[in-house]
Amino acid sequence: MPPIHHLTMRRGMRLAVFLCVIWAGTSEPIGMAVAGEQARDHLRRAKVFLAAGDYRHAVEACVQELVESPSAESYIYVTYVYHAIDGYIEHLANTDRWVGIEQLYVNLTFQGPQDLVDPPEVLARIAKEVIQGSVQRQSDVTAAMAARLDEATVAKLWKQQKAWRAAKPDRWWAGVPPEWNW
């Protein structure tokens, strides 16, 4: 019977060969492609949430993307969602739609069924100031993080979103630039 350390080495070698066979033909480790797809799925979901005006879930989807696949693009996407919230709330205020601001506040603060019996009450004008102050601070932070990762990509993406805003001045916050198909 061979000594124990030889058995351990043989098993280790078999495992290494097995893993090499599994990874052969793929340019990335198993799980990375799946994780990348799931992360991009978060951004696709965020795009749908923006279209629906469900900004809380849009932010949550972007945060999931950041956790699973941090990149300059993912930081810019969440920054853009913060800007979209700001743009939408400003549009509501400018068109004197204060009930919409109250609804946005409820959307952003809703945590679950307990809020149905103890709703978060706030005046619309106060909600506007609270939300805008918060999203502006958060967008500054995430934009700075994106710039630290890749300034050239950030500049390109902001150029695209600037053109998107110009093309859709009354609805840009309900979607993302068409180039952002990731």
| Most trustworthy range by pLDDT among 17-31, 32-46, 123-137 | 123-137
Question: Is residue 8 assigned to a domain?
Answer: no
Quick: pLDDT tens for 61-116. 999 999 999 999 999 999 999 999 999 999 999 999 999 998 898 889 877 676 55
Question: Is residue 112 assigned to a domain?
Answer: yes
Question: Is residue 3 assigned to a domain?
Answer: no
Which tokens belong to 154? Answer: 């950030």
In SS3 terms, 114-148 reads as HHHHCCCCCCHHHHHHHHHHHHHHHHHHHHHHHHH
Across the range 10-38, mean pLDDT stands at 40
Question: Is residue 24 assigned to a domain?
Answer: no
49-53, 126-130, 161-165, 166-170: the lowest-pLDDT one: 126-130
User: What band does 27 get if pLDDT is binned at 50, 70 and 90?
Assistant: very low
Distance CA 38, CA 36 (A): 5
Distance CA 93, CA 174 (A): 16
Distance CA 114, CA 144 (A): 36
Give every CB contact of residue 138 below 8 A, 6+ residues apart in sequence.
82
Quick: pLDDT tens for 28-64. 343 334 444 454 789 999 999 999 999 999 999 999 9
- Residue numbers of the domain that contains 50: 30-174
Question: Is residue 142 assigned to a domain?
Answer: yes
Question: Is residue 137 assigned to a domain?
Answer: yes
Closest CA to 104 of 63, 53, 172: 53
Pick the more confident residue, 22 or 149: 149
| pLDDT at res. 120 | 65
Question: Is residue 80 assigned to a domain?
Answer: yes
Closest CA to 160 of 142, 182, 131, 140: 182
Query: Does 7 have pLDDT greater than 80?
Result: no
| pLDDT at res. 106 | 87
pTM greater than 0.85 (yes/no): no
For the chain, helix, strand, coil in percent to 5 are 75, 0, 25
Which tokens belong to 31? Answer: 């799980």
Question: Is residue 36 assigned to a domain?
Answer: yes
| pLDDT at res. 124 | 83
Report how many domains make up the chain.
1
